[in-house]
Amino acid sequence: MFFEPNKNHPFTPNFLSALIFPRPIGWISSISKNGVPNLSPYSFFNAISYIPPQIMFAATANHSDGGLKDTIRNILDTREFVVNLAIKKLKNEVNETSIDAPHDIDEFNFCKIKKRKSKIVKPPSVADSPINLECKLIRKINLKTKSKNKNQNKMIIGEVIGVRIENRYIKNGRINSLMMKAISRMGYSEYSEVDSKFLMTRPKWIKL
Ligand SMILES: Cc1cc2nc3c(=O)[nH]c(=O)nc-3n(C[C@H](O)[C@H](O)[C@H](O)COP(=O)(O)O)c2cc1C
């Protein structure tokens, strides 16, 4: 079939997440200007440049209280955040932290997740996540929206200014990603686990 998203079709409006998959999950910690830590998963998330290393994530909706999602609000206030890798061992915690808790609730405490003090930025890191990327805000972009609520569809671009990797995943200067058992998001309530890999070398144009 073929359809135009703005016209009639048989799918729910968020069909896109069942078509663009698997999406990595940025499990993002931030802190409010009053010092309340926050933790939430975002799968509209990816790496977007190497030098300097930059990442993006996007909030597709507003907070259930009508305002900005807490993560966006905190990052705009304090300009710092941490991206923690979401792994299978912590899958329930990842899901639990998607709760639309009020702004003054510490979701680390609420979901019983261990914090570790980050090296450079104020927001705490997830202690049991194998990767913590400490980031500073580069830019917020207001994406196109059809909603009257202007707190929807916000994209954050951050620069990674500190990288913590658990030592056991590093060997001979290479990172063993597969060993980490990362999880990713598909459509609906479906997830996948990164549990196999294959190798391919990229082709090179040979100039005669
Ligand atoms: C695995 C997963 C991925 C999610 N990805 C996104 C996303 O990319 N964008 C978004 O707006 N909400 C996403 N959500 C929902 C948010 O996590 C949820 O709205 C959360 O309450 C936001 O928290 P905050 O207000 O503390 O930032 C996701 C939820 C789950 C479980």
Atom of ligand 1 nearest to the CA of 95: 31
Is the Cβ–Cβ distance between 24 and 46 less than 8 Å?
yes
Is the Cβ–Cβ distance between 97 and 27 less than 8 Å?
yes
**pLDDT of 93 higher than 90:** yes
Atom of ligand 1 nearest to the CA of 41: 17
Is the Cβ–Cβ distance between 68 and 76 less than 8 Å?
yes
Distance of CA 186 to CAs 15, 44, 102, 122, Å? 10, 11, 27, 31
What distance in angstroms lies between residue 98's CA and the mean position of ligand 1's atoms?
A: 5
Q: What would the mean pLDDT of 70-89 be, rounded to a whole number?
A: 98
Count of CA atoms in the C-beta half-sphere (13 A) of 86:
27
Q: Quick one: pLDDT at residue 174?
A: 97
**pLDDT of 102 higher than 90:** yes
At 25-55, the pLDDT tens digits run 999 999 999 999 999 999 999 999 999 999 9
201 confidence band (pLDDT: 50, 70, 90): very high
At 129-161, the pLDDT tens digits run 999 999 999 999 999 999 999 999 999 999 999
Average predicted confidence (pLDDT) for the chain:
97
**pLDDT of 188 higher than 90:** yes
What distance in angstroms lies between residue 93's CA and the mean position of ligand 1's atoms?
A: 13
Q: Quick one: pLDDT at residue 154?
A: 98
Nearest CA to ligand 1 atom 24: 70
Lowest mean pLDDT among 2-16, 68-82, 109-123: 2-16
Q: What would the mean pLDDT of 57-70 be, rounded to a whole number?
A: 96
Q: Quick one: pLDDT at residue 112?
A: 97
Return the amino acid letter for 82. V
Rounded Cα–Cα distance for residues 125 and 183 (Å):
18
- Name the phi and psi angles at 175, rounded to 5: -100, 130
The DSSP element (H or E) to which 91 belongs, if any, is helix 91-96
Q: For residue 30, what are the β-bridge partners?
A: 38
Give the percent of the chain with pLDDT over 90.
Answer: 99
Is the Cβ–Cβ distance between 58 and 66 less than 8 Å?
no
195 confidence band (pLDDT: 50, 70, 90): very high
Q: Quick one: pLDDT at residue 63?
A: 94
Nearest CA to ligand 1 atom 11: 59
127 confidence band (pLDDT: 50, 70, 90): very high
Distance of CA 101 to CAs 29, 60, 158, 189, Å? 14, 17, 24, 20
Say which CATH architecture domain 16-193 belongs to: Roll (2.30)
Residues having CB closer than 6 A to ligand 1 are 25, 38, 40-44, 58-61, 63, 69-71, 94-95, 98-100, 185
Rounded Cα–Cα distance for residues 37 and 35 (Å):
6
137: tokens are: 């805000």
Rounded Cα–Cα distance for residues 123 and 45 (Å):
19
Q: Per-domain residue ranges for the chain?
A: 16-193
**pLDDT of 13 higher than 90:** no
**pLDDT of 85 higher than 90:** yes
Rounded Cα–Cα distance for residues 194 and 184 (Å):
8
Give the percent of the chain with pLDDT over 70.
Answer: 100
